[in-house]
Structure 1
Amino acid sequence: MSDKSLRVYFTTHHDGRLTGQLLPVWESFFDEPPPSAYGTSESEVQALLETRVRQLLLDDPTAINRFLWEEELQARTIAVEVHPQTVHKKRPIISKALVPLKLTYVYGKMESGAWRVRVPRFGWSFVIEELSIARQVLQHALTTALLGEKPKGLYDFRHEGEEFVRSWDPGGLELEEKRGSGEEPPPPVLDQIGEELTSRALGSRQPSLVHDGGSLADWLAYAKRQPPQSLLLVGGPGVGKTSQVLRLARVIAERRREDKEARLPNIWRTSAERIVAGMVYLGMWQERCLKIIDALSYENHYLYVDRLTSLLAPQPDGSSIGDLLLPAAMSGEISLIAECSEAEFERCQRRFAEALRPFRVIRIEQPAASEMPALMQRYQAVKHSRVSIHSLGLRQLVGHLETFQRDTLFPGKAFRFLDWLEQQGERGKARTLYPRDVSEAYARYTGLPLQLISDEIPAEQTTLAAQLKQGVIGQERACERAAGVLARFKAGLNDPEKPVGTLLFAGPTGVGKTELSKQLARTLFGHEERMIRIDMSEYMLPGSAQRLMEVGPGITSLAERVRQQPLSLVLFDEIEKAHPDVFDLLLGILGEGRLTDSLGRLVDFRMTVVCMTSNLGVEQSEPAGFGAERGAEDFLRAIRQAFRPELFNRIDHVIPFRRLSEADVLRIVDLELEKAASRAGLLRRRLRLVVEPDARAWLARHGYDPKLGARPLKRLIEARVMAPIAVRLSADSGLEGAMLPVVVAGTQAERMLRHEYRALATVLDD
């Protein structure tokens, strides 16, 4: 290779004059046309070019770098034959005749051994592995360029005269790309959208990786190519795709430290979200993408873009980031590293096959479960963890992770738990965890109750049913059926490829269907906040099902919430109101335990409990009052008629709910009053709420509606009990340690109130 210098491409015209054009090493969309001149001789053309080059330097001192060549270039003219296009009866037809054309190209051997080929007259540029295929490549390019053109387009390819290339140094120009001993700083756009991983890979904050999910030798071979081979890492979540990219950056940094002349790429990490961040006006993010391409063009860098599906996702204007970056990757102008799962890869093969063309596909497999105890021990050693786990505890942990976190793969889910475990430990205190300790820690980590995940603690169906009945009054049979699902989960007998349980609660309004769902969430996950409630009355219109699959920043769709918390209870409230498109989505969720989001990614529902509520089978003409009840057969018959057979057969249990009796409503009154009495405002002042039996019966009678069930009860207690107390406490801020009686007007209890409590009494009247 020679020192860098300029190259001028000369074309001889029929009148003997010459056109000289400065050859660019690379081109991008925003570049100005290269300087050119027209004269009678080479010297005249070069003199005119020098004037233009000096003006270019005045406008931008770095612009000359675009025209500095290392390769020795030569020109070659070849004859090619094409089938021209003709027009017959106003229809374009490709003729069978062959028309010979002459085409001149410039070529030079690169340091990597590949050949750079340019056709300056038409701005074509290629990098080919062997010079022997240049004719075939140019033949295809010429045929493609003429396809669809009018016959006169052939004249653009006519050969006027000799075409040749000359090295040129006008003298007195500053042609050095770098000044001083420091390296050229990266273009500002790269700092805006990402960070360079290779330079920081050897820092103390980057621990060594303990699992090699791919072949390092192959990776380095791809990285050494000029340009580096674009890579697509295919594997499930948690298998270590991102960790392998960090590992590649570390190995590149180590090789550079050993060999200063090693030509290995830098790795810039970014994402689709970071590329479009702050780009609010039309065309802004497209301009940023073009600047990224310009900054990375033939610069021996990798752009690590995270998820491939995010590149292909349409932006608000309908186009995608991939529409700009992927063509540049196909031509070898830039090199990409992207990730996707196996399901996403198959979807891309069906719908976006062209998007996969630039990539070398590398599949990363998860390690076997039997390998995980040794890998976790090695990981803790690398992290210098103060918490050690006994060998039996490690095997127990692997079992828990396999059973209860099927949405992610090894080794990622194991390493995340170990990181969390280290954060929970007391600083500086070493300890060892045994199997029971591991189960307790995992219960805290996931929110699952210890009695469901530990084989050492029995959890009978009757015990689980009793826990459910504490918060659900009057539905003993429903609680027992729901507890059976939890018992099956405890025994590990549920279908691993479906949700933990699929329950349809059928019955009148206000009898405890939603409350049982909340109680299931409390029993299974420790808190009702782990319940994802979807009101199906909001999904009645055509197209509304798409909202369940939307993903992106700030979106709280079903797909996003389950992806963030796979261990959850999903409640589809009033399922019969949903549009039929929603039922199509439910077929995949209930049958296969998964949902495909708007980006084509799979959302795992196999660790969720799916509950649905319905009023089907409840007639408005039923007898009013307490205890009016219909048989379970009526609900079942109505549900079978409303649901398609393929959906109905995916439901594990249809659980009927009966109407509440008067005794049930009284128990609900006690439950709600107990919650009210435990509020912070009363406990802080040591105030005791005392509700007389007549008042409890009054609340039960007025808080129950035959059509609405016990739903009005909470509003009644707030309005007739808590609101008057709040007014009284606001007026008397010093009231503490007193009894707050609740009585019915005109009853003996009201008349028997002591004088000191009469002012504090809440009197209920009609």
Structure 2
Amino acid sequence: MAISRDNLSFEPGLNLLRVSQRKIKKILGRLIFIFLIGVGLYGVLVSVSHSWQEYRTLFYFSLLTDMFLFYLWRQKKSYRPIRPPKEGEKLEVSVFLDEKSRQLLEDAYRLARRSRYRFLRPIHFFAVCLKEKKFRKIIKRLDCSVEQVTEKTESILEKSLSEESGEVFGPDLSADFKKIFCDAYVFCLRRGYSQIGPLDILWAISQQKNMVGMVFDEFGISPSEIEKVIEWARLEGEIRRSEKNFFWWRLFKPAGKLNRAMTAVLTPTLDKVSQDLTLLAKRGEFEMVIGREKELEQIFNFFNAGRVGAVLVGEDEVGKKSIVKKLAQLMTEENVPNFLKDKRLIELDLGALVSLGGSQKIEEYLRQVVYEVNWAGNIVLVMKDIDNLAGLKSQASGLDLSEIMVSALEIKAFFLLGTSLPANYASKIEGKILGRVLDKIEIETPARDFLWKILIAKIYLIEKKLKVFFSADALDQAIDLADRYIYGKSLPAKTIDLLTEVGYLISGRKDSDGVINGDDVVELVSKKTKVPLKDTEETEKRKLLDLEKLIHQRLVNQEEAVKAVAAAMRRSRLEVKKRDKPIANFLFVGPTGVGKTELAKTLARVYFGDEKRMLRLDMSEYQEKRGIRRLIGLRTDEGTEKGYLTEAVKRQPYSLLLLDELEKAHPDILNLFLQVMDDGRLTGADNETINFTNIILIATSNAGTNFIQNKIKDGISYEEIDRELKDKVLLEYFRPEFLNRFDKIVLFTALSFENIREITRLFIKEINGGLEERAVTLEAENEAIDELAALGYNPLYGARPLRRAIQEKVEDVVARMFLEDKVKRRDKIIVKKGLVFEIKKGKEF
């Protein structure tokens, strides 16, 4: 709707005389109102407690007073609704302000006049709004201190006063002040609102560049954030009004099983296997449901067109229950089409029906239920997971229960509303007998904007119950983190669970003021998933900065690989909330036994805290295409088999994924990991998308080992080997687009004799660590270290021969010493030159 600003005017006629007149009129009106209420109540009370004949005149007078009060109340509620300007009309916007907006406008005028400002500006309106409870709540939703915002506003007002000369007869309206009211009018007209309220004016202020924007900019608040919390406040108001209206309308709904015409009959069998949703709604046991008008209109249209059945088809917890609840509330209010008025919404429990009748009598009881529903004439039947009817047979006649229900529906004596999962609908309803009478209504996962509204309704209940208060950032964090890190439910359901859990957590803290911000949600998700989402703490900073040194305490040589891994870890902590790929994707290539797998183990132990944080896949076990089902699962007629990879990452989202001997995997499996490296996610057979953005993916490969060994023998430099390996050799094993997904392809160098000597010391240290629980110490002299290193040195096979040599020459000997009881607690074993073992006895106590 295009509206020219030239057709709009804002001249509310603000001056001292008119503002004072309105204030006096308002005070007098309240006094008269109170007086009339007193007279009315007095007349009624006297007439009840004394002789009717004696006080009859007083009673009639009080009755007239009450009627006049009702007239005044109606007059107060009447207003001039917003309309578009006529052709050629100059429309005065101020006539569409509601009572509260007019009051705040006059308060802003008095503030500006009292301080002798030359112009009335948006900052003055904002300043008086800060005294209102609703506006202070908005400031708190923005995670700001009301006191600090008020102080900053007053500071800006004082500064602007020094720049403007005083005006004795009151301030003029500035151009930007008039514009916000015209913008608010256009906003309300487009939204279909009947009047301009304070929230609409605040929205218009937030969209302009003015001094109010300076206040919010000081606290890092953007216009879009302000707009969101204004919408939150508006939705809260709608929920309160809906609750209030529903409270009164539900009183007119019959509480029993009969309708108003008393033509319905009792339903004893149905009562045993069902619950009355309209009765639960009448008792106020359902929360107010936001939206869902589209789906409800589809239901009404189907029924109105002569169809008798509809089925809501959607994944678990995407809103099917909410739609049924809202239908129950609308039927309680009688805010439904005529064919649904004065009816009851009854949910049939199929499990209870089976338990009541057993396999022998279930057909008899279902027929009795259908008979009672038909005979009652005032029932709309609801069946959760209606697809369960299909395949459930009566042992008495062999009939499928779905056939019995369809036969009853085809008489068109009652309406049926069911729910079903998409997979079950496709296999049991679509194209089957139930599909003849059930029209499909698809329920999709709510979009982000609508999800926000749904969650505000839930937060309204949580806040009321737990006496807590959520900031807008807490809600945003809950949606984002639930989507990325929590599995097993739909996004709405797991976000609601997260909000509820953090609400209970904060309400249980003795030192808490009850305000829940984004950091509280982040802290909870970090604890639940063991993913470090909070800002880096001092101890972790030191670990990140010293990561190369910590890794080299367990790994010898391979400087390039260690630097690449450490840099990726430091980078990941800056990108943790916006990353859409794994922390890093590395391909380690090189001769066998040079530390490729050992670096992955060391990183898991040093950074993640435990070697168990490493998920290891031996890719030689996935040489066939069918290995995909082992990784992501398999959907069968009996259900869904879970995949090893998807389940492992779901349980440990913050870990290291090691793909050993990658070159042996089937090409289709490589494509699977290409998706992981590219998108940071993988969808399992159960259609659940698993987040891989907190995984370090390290693949090791022996591809080109012969090439590397031959080049080493020929004395070719590692720089030349690395270049030729990446440009030619690896392309024989992997496609170019797959190799391009790795952040770095690292060539591990062969180990020198000095490297082997250092690794020998690490192996001895590792054995010594294993002996600590026996209170025994193992040491090796330098000569013994050199001899062990010489026995295990082979440039072609890395450290593998060394490990075998130490197992044979050291571990086997030490084990025999223990078995022969030669070693006691507090003894020291020394490996000397010639690999001779000496036992130095410990002190006896």
Task: Give TM-score, length-normalised by structure 2.
Answer: 0.49
Q: Deviations along 1:562-582, whole A, 9 cap, x unmatched?
A: 455554443322222222333
Q: Deviations along 1:442-479, whole A, 9 cap, x unmatched?
A: 43333234687679985897544444444433222211
Selected match of 1:268 from 377, 380, 384: 384
1:365 Cα deviation after fit: 1.1
CA separation in 2, counterparts of 1:366 and 1:528?
Answer: 38
The amino acid of 2:616's aligned partner reads R
Selected match of 2:435 from 331, 356, 378: 331
CA separation in 1, counterparts of 2:766 and 2:541?
Answer: 30
Residue 501 of structure 1 is matched in structure 2 by 584
Aligned residues: 518
C-alpha RMSD of matched pairs (Å): 5.5
CA separation in 1, counterparts of 2:665 and 2:682?
Answer: 17
1:402 Cα deviation after fit: 8.8
**SS at 2:745's partner residue?**
strand
The amino acid of 2:726's aligned partner reads L
The answer to whether structure 1 residue 246 and structure 2 residue 321 are counterparts is yes
The amino acid of 1:331's aligned partner reads G
Residue 98 of structure 1 is matched in structure 2 by none
Q: Percent identity?
A: 23
Closer/same/farther in 2, CA of residues 594 and 550 from structure 1, 3 Å limit: same
1:290 Cα deviation after fit: 8.4
CA separation in 2, counterparts of 1:455 and 1:754?
Answer: 43
Q: Deviations along 1:372-408, whole A, 9 cap, x unmatched?
A: 99678546426638xx688497389469739965999
Residue 558 of structure 1 is matched in structure 2 by 645
Residue 645 of structure 1 is matched in structure 2 by 736
Q: Is the contact between residue 695 and residue 744 of structure 1 (CA under 8 Å) also seen in structure 2?
A: yes
Residue 541 of structure 1 is matched in structure 2 by 624
Q: Deviations along 1:254-287, whole A, 9 cap, x unmatched?
A: 6788866343333434999x999xxxxxx99xxx
The answer to whether structure 1 residue 401 and structure 2 residue 481 are counterparts is yes
**SS at 1:743's partner residue?**
strand
Closer/same/farther in 2, CA of residues 180 and 624 from structure 1, 3 Å limit: same
1:509 Cα deviation after fit: 1.6
Q: Is the contact between residue 461 and residue 480 of structure 1 (CA under 8 Å) also seen in structure 2?
A: no
The answer to whether structure 1 residue 384 and structure 2 residue 466 are counterparts is yes
Q: Point out the more displaced range, 654-663 or 216-225.
A: 216-225
Residue correspondence of structure 1 range 521-670 to structure 2 within 5 A:
521=604, 525-541=608-624, 543-545=626-628, 547-551=630-634, 553=640, 555-562=642-649, 565-595=652-682, 597-598=684-685, 603-619=690-706, 620-621=709-710, 631-637=721-727, 638-670=729-761
The amino acid of 2:431's aligned partner reads P
Q: Is the contact between residue 439 and residue 453 of structure 1 (CA under 8 Å) also seen in structure 2?
A: no
CA separation in 1, counterparts of 2:734 and 2:321?
Answer: 50
Selected match of 2:568 from 482, 485, 497: 485
Residue 207 of structure 2 is matched in structure 1 by none
Residue 516 of structure 1 is matched in structure 2 by 599
Q: Is the contact between residue 531 and residue 568 of structure 1 (CA under 8 Å) also seen in structure 2?
A: yes
CA separation in 2, counterparts of 1:529 and 1:275?
Answer: 46
Task: Give TM-score, length-normalised by structure 1.
Answer: 0.53
Residue correspondence of structure 1 range 447-466 to structure 2 within 5 A:
447-449=530-532, 462-466=545-549
Closer/same/farther in 2, CA of residues 252 and 475 from structure 1, 3 Å limit: same
Closer/same/farther in 2, CA of residues 556 and 224 from structure 1, 3 Å limit: same
**SS at 2:270's partner residue?**
coil
CA separation in 2, counterparts of 1:487 and 1:582?
Answer: 30
**SS at 2:344's partner residue?**
coil
Closer/same/farther in 2, CA of residues 639 and 217 from structure 1, 3 Å limit: same
CA separation in 1, counterparts of 2:282 and 2:734?
Answer: 60
Closer/same/farther in 2, CA of residues 607 and 214 from structure 1, 3 Å limit: farther
Residue correspondence of structure 1 range 129-144 to structure 2 within 5 A:
none
The amino acid of 1:556's aligned partner reads G
Q: Is the contact between residue 469 and residue 475 of structure 1 (CA under 8 Å) also seen in structure 2?
A: no
CA separation in 2, counterparts of 1:755 and 1:602?
Answer: 60
Selected match of 1:364 from 425, 446, 454: 446
Residue 710 of structure 1 is matched in structure 2 by 799
CA separation in 1, counterparts of 2:286 and 2:555?
Answer: 51
**SS at 1:474's partner residue?**
coil
Closer/same/farther in 2, CA of residues 539 and 383 from structure 1, 3 Å limit: farther
CA separation in 2, counterparts of 1:608 and 1:678?
Answer: 30
Selected match of 2:826 from 715, 726, 738: 738
The amino acid of 2:402's aligned partner reads I
Q: Deviations along 1:8-40, whole A, 9 cap, x unmatched?
A: xxxxxxxxxxxxxxxxxxxxxxxxxxxxxxxxx
The amino acid of 1:328's aligned partner reads K
Closer/same/farther in 2, CA of residues 439 and 295 from structure 1, 3 Å limit: same
Closer/same/farther in 2, CA of residues 270 and 551 from structure 1, 3 Å limit: farther
Q: Deviations along 1:488-527, whole A, 9 cap, x unmatched?
A: 3233299844433222111122222223333444566554
1:708 Cα deviation after fit: 3.9
Q: Point out the more displaced range, 604-613 or 211-220.
A: 211-220
Residue 227 of structure 1 is matched in structure 2 by 308
1:245 Cα deviation after fit: 2.6
CA separation in 2, counterparts of 1:430 and 1:391?
Answer: 18
The amino acid of 2:446's aligned partner reads I
CA separation in 2, counterparts of 1:460 and 1:574?
Answer: 30
**SS at 1:183's partner residue?**
helix
1:658 Cα deviation after fit: 1.3
Q: Deviations along 1:268-314, whole A, 9 cap, x unmatched?
A: 34999x999xxxxxx99xxxx984634754576655444x34x4xxx
Closer/same/farther in 2, CA of residues 707 and 416 from structure 1, 3 Å limit: farther
Closer/same/farther in 2, CA of residues 255 and 720 from structure 1, 3 Å limit: farther
Closer/same/farther in 2, CA of residues 437 and 585 from structure 1, 3 Å limit: closer
Q: Is the contact between residue 826 and residue 841 of structure 2 (CA under 8 Å) also seen in structure 1?
A: no
Closer/same/farther in 2, CA of residues 541 and 605 from structure 1, 3 Å limit: same
Q: Is the contact between residue 227 and residue 332 of structure 1 (CA under 8 Å) also seen in structure 2?
A: no
The amino acid of 1:612's aligned partner reads A
Closer/same/farther in 2, CA of residues 180 and 326 from structure 1, 3 Å limit: closer
Q: Deviations along 1:120-159, whole A, 9 cap, x unmatched?
A: xxxxxxxxxxxxxxxxxxxxxxxxxxxxxxxxxxxxxxxx
CA separation in 1, counterparts of 2:276 and 2:676?
Answer: 39
Closer/same/farther in 2, CA of residues 324 and 182 from structure 1, 3 Å limit: closer
Task: Structure 1: give runs of 5+ residues left out of the alignment.
Answer: 1-177, 187-194, 235-240, 277-282, 312-320, 336-357, 760-766
CA separation in 2, counterparts of 1:669 and 1:200?
Answer: 78
**SS at 2:429's partner residue?**
helix
Q: Is the contact between residue 600 and residue 698 of structure 2 (CA under 8 Å) also seen in structure 1?
A: yes
CA separation in 2, counterparts of 1:743 and 1:560?
Answer: 46
**SS at 1:508's partner residue?**
coil
Closer/same/farther in 2, CA of residues 404 and 554 from structure 1, 3 Å limit: closer
The amino acid of 1:181's aligned partner reads P
CA separation in 1, counterparts of 2:387 and 2:804?
Answer: 49
Q: Deviations along 1:574-626, whole A, 9 cap, x unmatched?
A: 22222233333344333344445456665554444332211223225466899
**SS at 1:643's partner residue?**
coil
Q: Is the contact between residue 513 and residue 657 of structure 1 (CA under 8 Å) also seen in structure 2?
A: yes
The answer to whether structure 1 residue 293 and structure 2 residue 402 are counterparts is yes
Q: Which has the higher helix share?
A: 2
The amino acid of 1:582's aligned partner reads I
The amino acid of 1:230's aligned partner reads V
Q: Which has the higher strand share?
A: 1
The amino acid of 1:584's aligned partner reads N
